[in-house]
Amino acid sequence: MAAKRQTRAPVFAALGDETRLALVAKLCGGRPCSISQLTRGSKLTRQAITKHLRVLESAGVVHSIRMGRESRFEFDPQPLEGIRKYLDFVSEQWDQALSRLTSFVED
């Protein structure tokens, strides 16, 4: 549990940027995209986008496959499920705290 927590912060951090959220939103549509494709429509440089993609890749949110002269990036859902579990945990803790408070007041 503590070990798992150490692996969640980087995933959250990877999503803590508007540009990267936009990339994830595009890639979770299913069709793998090259760097150039992902750069079109953004005001940033190709290298900036590349760096963002590497951050997402390090967090495991995305992976790349070299296809000829282009490298295609594809979405990877596992890490997102991981942090969803964490949110579930927090939510549950909170709900239990609220119930305890309620039953205490009712005494």
Partner DNA sequence: CTAATATGCAACCTGGAGGTTGCTTAAGAT
Partner DNA sequence: ATCTTAAGCAACCTCCAGGTTGCATATTAG
Q: Is 91 a residue that touches DNA (CB under 7 A)? A: no
Choices 4-12, 33-41, 42-50, 62-70 (CB under 8 A): range interacting with a second copy:
4-12
| Residue 44 in contact with a second copy, rule: CB under 8 A | no
Backbone angles phi, psi at 43, to 5 degrees: -90, 0
Q: Is 34 in the site for DNA (CB under 7 A)?
A: yes
- Asked if 60 is part of the footprint of a second copy (rule: CB under 8 A), the reply reads no
Cβ neighbourhood burial of 36 (10 Å; 0-12, 13-18, 19+):
exposed
Q: Provide the sign of the torsion angle of the four alpha carbons 74, 79, 83, 85, taken in this order.
A: positive
For residue 54, state whether it binds a second copy (rule: CB under 8 A). no
Interface mask (CB under 7 A) for DNA, residues 65-84, using x and -?
Answer: -x-xxxxx------------
CA angle 24–64–86, rounded 5-degree value:
45
Binding to a second copy by residue 107, rule CB under 8 A? no
Burial class (CB in 10 A: 0-12, 13-18, 19+), 53: buried
> Smallest distance from the beta carbon of 45 to DNA, in angstroms?
3
Q: Does 87 bind a second copy (CB under 8 A)?
A: yes
